[in-house]
Structure 1
């Protein structure tokens, strides 16, 4: 290139370029030439730099002469960020004090034991018996016990996957929090939208079913949907009292439900023993299918709808960060095994004591069983239990959505106002208000028809359950080094995906209109999330074990594609001065030059990499830990990833 060409590019050759004598291709054996070290090459000019455009200490505009601007009539200044800087910091005493206070406050927080943690989701899981049994009976008839028993066995596929994910990433807000740590942010937002739909549909179905039971027993002075709205409002106030108090109330409600079901089971079994098998034989003869293919069809449809009785189990990972360590597998066990017994026993007692014509006529199955077995007083008891436990099912949806919105706000997907909470109880009132609006919109758009929301709910729930095997596969592929307690066989993961697809198709075949409602609600929620993404510049902080430039490049590309930011800080923790990698500063400058639209700073923190110092750095740099990204820790890492509160974005 000539001097004239160099001047045309924006400077004199003396200012812009460093001339380097080429290294001979064939060295003289008598005079061997040693290749320069990295430090020597850096100082001798082997790496070409536009040094004159980089102000000392950073700052200034990262402007260049090429390429030409895409906006011919505008200044190109807005297309280029400032130059990055290099600095070393030593954390001050007040930084350590504030960080230690935050961590101590987290350690002092009262965590849920297996009883209270099980109760939160237990009201939804075990309360599902009130709307699952009628749905299965309508399509499977006398084959309902077989179909329902088979469907309640399916969590044996999901439990090991959920346990593995929870041991690797014990972070509240799952499965969204799993997806955000193992894949792109766009796919994680899809998971968040599905999870929000699941929580919303669960609460609407629970509240509307409870209101329907109430309207069936007493004459209400207002429409049923008003009663459902009142139930939602009451439990929104309960949720504002805090997680611990809500869990205690949920435990009381679940205990009442278990006592009711036990009493009903004993009385129905006694009535069966009294009348013998006459009613069971009549129902069997009347309800037999005319062909083997019809039997298979009824069993398959019953299996598909029977999985509705498991709704609620997907909510437990959403508050896993509030559960005592090591208790999550016990929580899953406490939810799964009782529902197998409850659903199978109750459907058998119903067919043994109640005429099939009555059951298929749209009667409230369990209240009819109570009346037949013990009289009107037992019917009232069961109806009261249905109203109470189904209302309690609203609670898990509200608590789950609060944890979800908290994670979304930290990740800048929804506005920061969703982090606002009451000073007295720490109850998140903004997420609850938004959730009530979502409930009202869903119920109103369905015309107040419970059947529409219930059928759509089944598709949402199945899609959410599919997130667990997908997240586990992505974790193994993208974050394989992440330590975890157990490992699920690949065959189990693939079988769960096949089962999900088959049941999803079966529900669509039963009622094709549900697919339309599902698509409409999903697109609506996704549109809101995309519209609410913050477009202000954010500062992102990396913590890196690996300092090779290709690792840094991949991480910066992740941030550029998934975050709206114009500033990235690469932070390296180092105890000793000579422990700083020699190539780190040069690599940071190369990357700073390679991304004109992003300012890339390098900060050396003269401390060890422990959770306390990460929190101290967050205070010193005024960057929340949720905007700190790190590489995946290995199996010998001294601290679990949940202790840091950062996001994992690389292997």
Structure 2
């Protein structure tokens, strides 16, 4: 290598005038026309020049310099101003869009090359961080099932009346079809959880297999889904209670009290919340078992008289009407599955290998509870009564066993529906934490309470947002329910979409099991049909959902593009030169410039293995498109015996020049690329692992992606 590799001035040989060549027709070859002799030319030193038909020996000074001695020549020609220690400013010839203000803040300094050695203390601390992260999975299959189970199995209280209203006596068929659809979703969700066992799904799934913009859309849908889960559960509980007794306060006040109560429970910590959820779910399962036993006894005593009467009253005449009623009932019946989307959101808290069992524990009871409940209703309750009242199971319990069972059912409905509020809060907290780590939300959402270690800011903000959502709908449960049904279906569509992107963009990522692409497309098709069916039943549904979704998406976009928004405001200020003369507006402009600089100063890291410039370029391009930063660090772990890739330094300099708005530093770490070293480096640099990006690991990679806590940004 020449001395230019170290950034030194070019040597005499580098500055030699390159020779020219002339084609000789007689010999059919190129002949070098030697330039004036260089003072460094050694007498008698020759090289061979190969032409078309002949070759001859010419002095080495007559030839162009070798690639080894000239590989940095172009870089040095453009970087004469590069300070040896980095810094300075990388200006370009691009015209500025600022006419009256300086645009220096749009550029950054030259990057630096540094070597970092991880001390034994750093490595030990990194190992402790990885161990703590692996021990986060503390929930067994039953406690994990209970967290979402109250929402899934409690949905029977508001799903049955909605299905009976459109499907009448064909409701059991509709609910069987609706609940059986989950057989397609389960392998999809299992593959995603196996490939990316991290919390915050499906937002985190989309973030690791696609762009941050698409992940932002999924985050908006998730937040609305969690808020709707809590609001519908709380409001339905109060509505159910109001149907049995006369409340001394409005339903909206009761829903607020429920939200406040379970906010306090959530502030007590995840473990306690999981135990409470398990207790609530156990009570619900015992209650439903008692109801089913009483219904079987009553059915045996009464016979099929009521069932025949209901069949005669609700039977459709034309076959197309029967098919339409079954289809509409199946579209609405998916509400009996609400809550399943919450399970992947806390997948990192579930013990290894328990995730498929959690889905199984929720799916089979959901089928039994929904289908058997509506079957007993049609066998024992007059169809007119079932269509007139929302408390269908209360009517069933009254006929089956009397007042005592009805009271028990009402208490159970209150308890399990309130447990659905807990499910929404838990999912939202996991989502807020991920958004804060990705700098979409303030870092306050990462703080935890000193005793219970619960995410206090997340819980309080989500509870406030849920109540605002309810209040802005006019405290109308039907409006929120309509929005809930469509938002839930769109969230469930994110899972097959994520696994499809996983197969295409991150196909090398190891996971078990692997779902067939045909199954994925079938799942997407069914999701589209069900969404269309719900819109056809009530077109106003899409209006409510779109309004809330647009508001949340806009808010998330602003938080994602904070520096860009301030940049636009600064440009508007620049277009009004008469404001620059005022002292207070000038200070305002200076503050905006400072804010842009501070927002862009937050660093991110790219963990690189190869020195191929095309790969490095695409990684930097991802950062410019998805992250607002002017500080990027390329990290390479190397073995002393193997050394650093030969073109790493050269290509880093090229990239540092190609992106004038980003300072690109190259950091070389002597050591293995293992989770403990990455965690140690994260602590040493003060950059969270969630802002460290890497390529997709292959099937032979010895570590799981969850151990690193990094983001995958390329194949």
Q: 1:568 to 1:18 in 2, by over 3 A?
A: farther
Separation (CA, whole Å) in 2 of partners of 1:499 and 1:394 = 28
Question: Does residue 152 of the first structure (1) align with residue 179 of the second (2)?
Answer: yes
Which of residues 67, 71, 76 is equivalent to 1:42?
Answer: 71
The CA deviation at 1:530 is 1.9
Separation (CA, whole Å) in 1 of partners of 2:15 and 2:154 = 76
The CA deviation at 1:263 is 0.4
Which of residues 591, 600, 603 is equivalent to 2:664?
Answer: 600
**Contact 2:199-2:346 within 8 A present in 1 as well:** yes
Give matches, 1:375-454, under 5 Å.
375-454=402-481
**What's 1:6 paired with?**
none
The CA deviation at 1:437 is 1.8
Separation (CA, whole Å) in 2 of partners of 1:356 and 1:468 = 38
Bigger radius of gyration among the two:
2
Which of residues 59, 77, 82 is equivalent to 2:87?
Answer: 59
Question: Does residue 624 of the first structure (1) align with residue 669 of the second (2)?
Answer: no
Q: 1:87 to 1:37 in 2, by over 3 A?
A: farther
The CA deviation at 1:23 is 7.5
Separation (CA, whole Å) in 2 of partners of 1:230 and 1:35 = 83
**What's 2:282 paired with?**
255
Separation (CA, whole Å) in 2 of partners of 1:361 and 1:596 = 68
Q: 1:22 to 1:357 in 2, by over 3 A?
A: farther
Which of residues 647, 652, 659 is equivalent to 1:588?
Answer: 652
The CA deviation at 1:638 is 0.7
Separation (CA, whole Å) in 1 of partners of 2:332 and 2:208 = 32
Question: Does residue 563 of the first structure (1) align with residue 627 of the second (2)?
Answer: yes
Separation (CA, whole Å) in 2 of partners of 1:645 and 1:243 = 21
Question: Does residue 638 of the first structure (1) align with residue 699 of the second (2)?
Answer: no
The CA deviation at 1:71 is 3.1
**What's 2:568 paired with?**
none
**Contact 1:20-1:46 within 8 A present in 2 as well:** no
The CA deviation at 1:35 is 9.6
The CA deviation at 1:274 is 0.4
Q: How many corresponding residue pairs?
A: 636
**Contact 1:98-1:616 within 8 A present in 2 as well:** yes
Which of residues 18, 21, 43 is equivalent to 1:21?
Answer: 18
Deviations 1:365-386 (A, max 9, x none): 1010000000000000000000
Separation (CA, whole Å) in 2 of partners of 1:362 and 1:598 = 63
**What's 1:288 paired with?**
315
**What's 1:484 paired with?**
511
Question: Does residue 116 of the first structure (1) align with residue 180 of the second (2)?
Answer: no
The CA deviation at 1:31 is 4.2
The CA deviation at 1:342 is 1.1
**Contact 2:508-2:696 within 8 A present in 1 as well:** yes
Separation (CA, whole Å) in 1 of partners of 2:697 and 2:261 = 44
Q: Secondary structure of the equivalent of 1:541?
A: strand
**What's 1:4 paired with?**
none
The CA deviation at 1:285 is 0.6
The CA deviation at 1:19 is 6.8
Q: Which moved more, 1:31-40 or 1:422-431?
A: 31-40
**What's 2:243 paired with?**
216
**Contact 1:38-1:583 within 8 A present in 2 as well:** no
Q: 1:22 to 1:185 in 2, by over 3 A?
A: farther
**What's 2:228 paired with?**
201
**Contact 2:82-2:110 within 8 A present in 1 as well:** yes
The CA deviation at 1:484 is 0.7
Give matches, 1:164-243, under 5 Å.
164-243=191-270
The CA deviation at 1:107 is 3.7
Separation (CA, whole Å) in 1 of partners of 2:319 and 2:286 = 40
**What's 1:614 paired with?**
678
Which of residues 55, 61, 64 is equivalent to 1:30?
Answer: 55
The CA deviation at 1:50 is 2.1
Q: Secondary structure of the equivalent of 1:88?
A: strand
Two-structure CA RMSD over aligned residues (Å): 2.0
Q: Secondary structure of the equivalent of 1:49?
A: helix
Q: Which runs of 5+ in 1 are unaligned?
A: 1-12
Q: Secondary structure of the equivalent of 1:136?
A: helix
**What's 1:8 paired with?**
none
The CA deviation at 1:95 is 2.0
Deviations 1:567-595 (A, max 9, x none): 11000001216420010000000000011
Q: 1:453 to 1:68 in 2, by over 3 A?
A: closer
Separation (CA, whole Å) in 2 of partners of 1:185 and 1:358 = 50
Q: 1:18 to 1:350 in 2, by over 3 A?
A: farther
Separation (CA, whole Å) in 2 of partners of 1:20 and 1:318 = 65
Separation (CA, whole Å) in 2 of partners of 1:321 and 1:402 = 13
Separation (CA, whole Å) in 2 of partners of 1:125 and 1:650 = 36
**Contact 2:133-2:707 within 8 A present in 1 as well:** no
**Contact 1:18-1:48 within 8 A present in 2 as well:** no
